[in-house]
Amino acid sequence: MTTRRAFWGTSAAFLGALACDPERYPRLTQPVPGRIVGAHFELGHAVRERLPFPAAAPSSKHRVLIVGTGVSGLSAALELARAGHRDLAIIDVEPEAGGTSRAGSTGGFQHPWGAHYVVAPSADQESMVKLLTDVGMMYIDEDGQLDAHEEYLVRDPEERIFFEGRFYEGMLPLHALDPESRRELPAFRRKMLEYCRLRNGDGRKVFHIPLAAAEIGPEIERFDTMSMAAFLEAEGFRSRGVRFLADYACRDDYGTTSAQTSAFAGIYYFASRDENEEEDGRGYLTVPQGNGLFIRHFLAELERFAVRPKLGHVAYAVQETESGVRVATLRGDRSTHVFEAERVIFAVPDHVRRALLPQLAERNPPLEYGSWLVGNLLMDKRPGGRGAPLAWDNISFHSGSLGYVVATHQAGIDHGDTVLTFYVPLLDDDPKKARQKLYSYSHADCARLLLGELEAMHPGSSVHCKELNVMRHGHAMVRPSVGLRASGALNRAPVGRSHFAHTDFSGLALFEEAFHHGRAAAAEVSRLL
Amino acid sequence: MPSPAARPAFLFLNVLVVATCGLVYELLAGAVASYILGDSVTQFSLVIGLYLSAMGVGAFLSRFVERPSARFIEVELIVAFVGGISAPVLFAAFATTAAFSVLLYGIVVMVGMFVGLELPLLMRILEGRLEFKEVVSRVLTFDYVGALAASLLFPLLLVPALGLVRTSLVTGIANAGVGIWGSYLLAQELTPRERRRARALGWGLIVFLALGVTQAGRLTSWSEEILYDDPVIFAKSSRYQRIVVTHKHGGFQLFLDGNLQFSSLDEYRYHEALVHPAIATLPRPPRSVLILGGGDGLAVRELLKHPSVAEVTLVDLDPAMTALGRDFPLLVSLNGGSLRDPRVHVRNEDAFVFLRENQRRFDLVIVDFPDPNNFHLGKLYTRYFYRLLSRALGEDGVAAVQSTSPLLSRRSFWCIVETMRAAELQVRPYQIQLPSFSQWGFVLAKNAPFAEPTTLPRVPLRFLSDDGMPSLFRFSPDIAEVPSEVNRFDNQVLVRTYEAEWRALGK
């Protein structure tokens, strides 16, 4: 039975363009089934309580302990295992491995809970190429050319944008925009193309992926000292279209507005991509479960070395001894365990690192994190809309959310039920306040926000939402704020026998960066074992 | 402003207009009903019967109406609105809802009832101004003259010049005009507030309906003009598409979402060409066959002419389509009940998903999808799809692929051929003349190189012959190969090409 849930007009949703807040949308008259999944805040808070190291607890010994099962933790583990170090322990606070690349399923459809695509690498990104050929997304043909298997390249139509009541194909409603925007947009793209084409002495791109392995000279480094919004202002880009594009880019990759993002990170979004992508398609690789595919691959590979993550363990205290490091963990049943290892790789976000290793505070200023709300909506009818047809990525010019991705698009399932994955970054200037706000949302608040976003694009369609599950990522993405690169916060050097791996150390939350830092930390540890 | 003495004469003019409009609505409903539902005798009888009896109900109810002058004007405005939008609403509903007939008869009854109120109210307004015998005689005279006017205007002037939708809207404007005019003629019987309201509403309605007239082209382009030149004998909105069967001198046609799929008059040419040349390339008679699309059962009919065929798997998305092929009498007699044959297994699935999951190999695969006019269909023409197809063909297996018209959409046809080559299939494009459509194209495909088939299997055929075989594989210069891009999952160039070609044809 269809339940009457929607009743609202669209006008409310168009007001106050950017902020995504449940309060802005009408209350739901009937609850939507579903729940808040993931995130063990309670256990996580044990870290902040700074409990003393347990006097006596069951313990286990390993050569290397890895804390964190996101992309950086698992790629570090796999790299070590492949180098012959199989006596590994991997732990994570969450009940499931994957960090912000986790995947799930609703109504029989696989969908992401976070990161959901990677940019197809160029041939010189050797480790990414190896990963993508290992998982079968790419291949090297008889002529030695790297190519992607068609079914993993985002299926056309890739994206559409909702603008003033109508959908347009692509990321911008080009022909519907004002003349100033239409004039400025090509100029902006040309400007970004200049950065895209910048080469170092060795012929490598300056805006290389991963950034961690790029060589950035001082003339580019200066973009770290201004915001993307200030950069646009200084370059004379003031049109609505360019401002939207820059803002969208910052939101899409970093969960921030262009005023909160350094110009360096803003430019990196555009300049790191393939300069031919305009003509050649954007070369995004994706599957219905998003980057959960890579997590599954890492876990399956580790399984071959009989390495299995231990989940539901929160590391809360660290002791360094003469021959190694001892890490005490707490479980849901309040039992403790001590992992002893020669070396530890902390593949966890900054606030966890700092709580465990207070000495970091002397060296690394704290990082700021943006919060995200990700919602998966099971729909018994696909949203339509005037203009361009349903695409993979469906965004709105009038919202601060990133719109939704259709989970069945890449699978070629075009009829019947589907799942829409909504991505909502919390764009408040104060990240702590945003996080508190996010954690205060009930399921009903989340539903009100997400269905409000849906209604704004598709009036009347929220009655077709049969189930709505959400995940609240409090520390979803490091914020690439102004001055971050020079602040010392990105220093990844080990502290004693503790090593670090995380996308944070690039100052950008991107798969390629996490993968790079995981492998780099593993190489570092491997040399010392 | 007419003088009080002149009022009765003007009121009789009102009778004339009102009577004309009332009959126009009735004719409109009858025309729309028989046009869309077919069977015009039944539809006209039903509509006229319902309309007249509803008028009777209206006449009966008129006795409960007080202050006839004020109510008459209100009735005019209601008739103007409901009657005015009747045809556009019915056309819009036809394309989008299954409950079309409920709406149709509902509108007929409603308009009939209010039209039925008109004359009794007018007669009561005239009561006391003239003698009773004068009132009856003149009102009925003007009523019948109005009927004559409508029955002449409707077929000779209104429909040819305006079409059904605009006729409906223009008639509504006339009714609203009568309402406004009445507010002047009967000014003394109305309160100032009633006068103001009647004029405001009347003008509002006129503006609204006039706007409708300017927009009518958008509506009729996707219903009246594009779709069907002939009576509709079956129409159903399934979950996936709008299925319509029309009837035309001795034959019938199937439309999906307004696109012609076949005409019974020449479909045998199409289906013989789709099935038998492929079989002619096989080293031994086929046993296992896969049909993707083709829920009409016509390709199956051709297949079952081959006694070797032991098993046919037919994958068609829409259960409503395969049910039509199995149960719709006209289609059953055309396909020879092929979908009821025990060798045929129908699966209602998306062919794309089916082929991706499929591990089986088939001797013969028939690919018979609608033309690639949207992205859902476009994925069924991608290199990725043809790689899946290639996997479903064994070493000797053969596929025959419907691949649109090389004459009307030449670049699209050769794009399909090029895409199949890019999937490492060996291809043999061919074409036939299909009077209902145009020149039509197909592609034979195998995993290993193969020669053009020359000798057809010995089964009863009406169109194909061994003599004619070589000419199928020749393409005249106006349809010869043009360089083409490969249609990939991630670029869908074919949908864009196809759309551009059809737009250029003005379709």
Question: How does DSSP classify residue A206?
Answer: S
Q: What is the pLDDT at residue A279?
A: 47
Task: Using a CB–CB cutoff of 8 Å, tell me whether A153 touches chain B.
Answer: yes
pLDDT, greater one: B436 or A76: A76
Question: How does DSSP classify residue A262?
Answer: B
Task: Compute the nearest-CA separation of B210 from chain A (Å).
Answer: 24
Task: Using a CB–CB cutoff of 8 Å, tell me whether A412 touches chain B.
Answer: yes
Q: Is A359 left (phi over 0), alpha (psi -120 to 50) or beta?
A: alpha
Do B382 and A389 lie within an 8 Å CB cutoff?
no
Task: Compute the nearest-CA separation of B270 from chain A (Å).
Answer: 28
Q: Which H/E stretch holds residue A468?
A: strand A465-478
Residue B223 in tokens = 């219903």
H helix runs in B255-382, sequence order: 267-280, 298-303, 319-327, 329-335, 351-357, 375-378
Per CB-CB distance under 8 Å, the chain B contacts of A415 are 239-240, 317, 350, 376
Per-residue 3-state assignment (H helix, E strand, C coil) for B163-214: HHHHHHHHHHHHHHHHHHHHHHHCHHHCCHHHHHHHHHHHHHHHHHHHHHHH
List the one residue out of A489, A491, A488, A493 whose CA is nearest residue A525: A493
Strand partners, A36: A470
| Mean pLDDT, residues A274-292 taken together | 76
Please tell me the least confidently modeled range out of A424-428, B73-77, B159-163, B299-303: B159-163
Task: Report d(CA B5, CA A519) in Å as an integer.
Answer: 102
Give the residue from chain B lying closest to A415, CA to CA. B240
Q: What is the pLDDT at residue A276?
A: 66
Give buried/exposed letters for B159-190 (b at 16+ CB in 10 A, else e): beebbbbbbbbbbbbbbbbbbbbbbebbeebb
At CA B333, angle to CA B328 and CA B337, rounded to 5? 80
Position B287 pLDDT exceeds 50? yes
Q: Are A205 and A198 in contact (CB under 8 A)?
A: yes
Do A413 and B353 lie within an 8 Å CB cutoff?
yes
Mutant choice from B489, B494, B497, B499 vs A, greatest count of A C-beta within 10 A: B489
Q: Are A371 and A260 in contact (CB under 8 A)?
A: no
**How far is it between the farthest Cα atoms of chain A?**
72
Task: Report d(CA A482, CA A489) in Å as an integer.
Answer: 12
Position B8 pLDDT exceeds 80? no
Please tell me the least confidently modeled range out of A139-153, A263-277, B361-375: A263-277
- Three-state DSSP state, B29: helix
Q: What is the pLDDT at residue B197?
A: 92
Task: Report d(CA A53, CA A327) in Å as an integer.
Answer: 9
Per CB-CB distance under 8 Å, the chain A contacts of B350 are 412-415
Do A389 and B374 lie within an 8 Å CB cutoff?
yes
Side chain identity at residue A384, one-letter code:
G
Please tell me the least confidently modeled range out of A351-360, B338-347, B402-411: A351-360
Position B217 pLDDT exceeds 70? no
Position B420 pLDDT exceeds 80? yes
Do A153 and B488 lie within an 8 Å CB cutoff?
yes
Q: What is the pLDDT at residue A1?
A: 32
The C-alpha torsion from B27 through B33 and B39 to B43, rounded to 10°, is: -60
Strand partners, B290: B313, B365
Task: Using a CB–CB cutoff of 8 Å, tell me whether B239 touches chain A.
Answer: yes
First to last CA, chain A: 62
Do B376 and A411 lie within an 8 Å CB cutoff?
no
Task: Report d(CA A206, CA A220) in Å as an integer.
Answer: 9
List the one residue out of B303, B299, B296 whose CA is nearest residue B330: B296
Task: Report d(CA A489, CA A367) in Å as an integer.
Answer: 7
Task: Report d(CA B484, CA A40) in Å as an integer.
Answer: 55
Please tell me the least confidently modeled range out of A200-209, A483-492, B401-410: A200-209
Task: Report d(CA A433, CA A427) in Å as an integer.
Answer: 10
Per CB-CB distance under 8 Å, the chain B contacts of A151 are 384, 489
> How far lies A384's CA from each of A8, A389, A420, in Å?
18, 7, 13
pLDDT band for position A421 (50/70/90)? very high
Do B492 and A281 lie within an 8 Å CB cutoff?
no
Task: Report d(CA B470, CA B449) in Å as an integer.
Answer: 18
For A223-274, write each residue's pLDDT tens digit. Answer: 999 999 999 999 999 999 999 999 999 999 999 999 999 999 999 999 998 7
Position B321 pLDDT exceeds 90? yes
Please tell me the least confidently modeled range out of A33-42, A445-454, B74-83, B348-357: A33-42
Position B491 pLDDT exceeds 70? yes
Q: How far is CA B74 from the centre of its chain?
A: 36
List the one residue out of B139, B218, B209 whose CA is nearest residue B179: B209
Q: How far is CA B333 from the centre of its chain?
A: 23
Task: Report d(CA B279, CA B289) in Å as an integer.
Answer: 10
Do B240 and A150 lie within an 8 Å CB cutoff?
no
List the one residue out of B135, B126, B153 whose CA is nearest residue B23: B153
Q: What is the pLDDT at residue A11?
A: 31
pTM equals: 0.77
Per CB-CB distance under 8 Å, the chain A contacts of B240 are 415
Task: Using a CB–CB cutoff of 8 Å, tell me whether B478 touches chain A.
Answer: no
List the one residue out of A104, A88, A124, A95 whose CA is nearest residue A34: A104
Task: Using a CB–CB cutoff of 8 Å, tell me whether A154 touches chain B.
Answer: yes
Q: What is the pLDDT at residue A29?
A: 82
| Mean pLDDT, residues A216-221 taken together | 93
Position A479 pLDDT exceeds 50? yes
- Three-state DSSP state, B425: coil
B 317-376 near A (Cβ less than 8 A)? 317, 350, 352-353, 356, 374-376
For B90-128, write each residue's pLDDT tens digit. Answer: 877 765 555 778 888 999 999 999 999 988 998 888 887
pLDDT band for position B225 (50/70/90)? very low
pLDDT, greater one: B235 or A471: A471
Per CB-CB distance under 8 Å, the chain B contacts of A154 are 490
Mutant choice from B489, B490, B493, B498 vs A, greatest count of A C-beta within 10 A: B490
Per CB-CB distance under 8 Å, the chain B contacts of A411 are 353
Q: Is the peptide bond before B155 cis (omega within 30 degrees of 0)?
A: no
Residue B486 in tokens = 């490969």
Q: Give the one of B350, B353, B490 whose C-beta lies nearest to A281's C-beta.
A: B490
pLDDT band for position B243 (50/70/90)? confident
| Mean pLDDT, residues A477-482 taken together | 96
Q: Give the number of other Cβ atoms within 10 Å of residue B300's Cβ.
A: 28
Question: How does DSSP classify residue A144?
Answer: S
Q: Are B258 and B222 in contact (CB under 8 A)?
A: yes
| Mean pLDDT, residues B131-158 taken together | 89
Please tell me the least confidently modeled range out of A85-89, A312-316, A488-492, B211-215: B211-215
Strand partners, A260: none
Per CB-CB distance under 8 Å, the chain B contacts of A155 are 379, 489-490, 492
Count interface pairs A-B at CB distance under 8 A: 49
What's the whole-number average pLDDT of chain B? 88
Position B39 pLDDT exceeds 90? no
Residue A471 in tokens = 């995940």
Q: What is the pLDDT at residue B96?
A: 52
| Mean pLDDT, residues B34-58 taken together | 83
For B325-363, write each residue's pLDDT tens digit. Answer: 998 888 998 999 999 999 999 999 999 999 999 999 999
Q: Give the one of A154, A389, A415 whose C-beta lies nearest to B375's C-beta.
A: A389
Q: What is the pLDDT at residue B293?
A: 94
H helix runs in A274-409, sequence order: 277-280, 292-304, 350-356
Q: Give the one of A281, A411, A415 whose C-beta lies nearest to B491's C-beta.
A: A281
Residue B452 in tokens = 């053009």
Give the residue from chain A lying closest to B388, CA to CA. A151
Mutant choice from A152, A153, A156 vs B, greatest count of B C-beta within 10 A: A156
Q: What is the pLDDT at residue B50?
A: 93
Position A467 pLDDT exceeds 50? yes
Please tell me the least confidently modeled range out of A475-484, B187-196, B217-226: B217-226
First to last CA, chain B: 51
Q: What is the pLDDT at residue A15?
A: 33
Task: Using a CB–CB cutoff of 8 Å, tell me whether B391 touches chain A.
Answer: no
Q: Give the number of other Cβ atoms within 10 Å of residue A326's Cβ.
A: 20
Position A7 pLDDT exceeds 50? no
Do B492 and A413 lie within an 8 Å CB cutoff?
no
Q: How far is CA B468 from the centre of its chain?
A: 36
Task: Report d(CA A486, CA B37) in Å as an integer.
Answer: 75
For A44-70, write each residue's pLDDT tens digit. Answer: 666 677 788 888 889 999 999 999 999
Do A150 and B239 lie within an 8 Å CB cutoff?
no
| Mean pLDDT, residues A502-529 taken together | 96
Task: Using a CB–CB cutoff of 8 Å, tell me whether B218 touches chain A.
Answer: no
Q: Are B382 and B492 in contact (CB under 8 A)?
A: yes
Which residues of B are known to be catalytic? 368
Do A150 and B375 lie within an 8 Å CB cutoff?
no
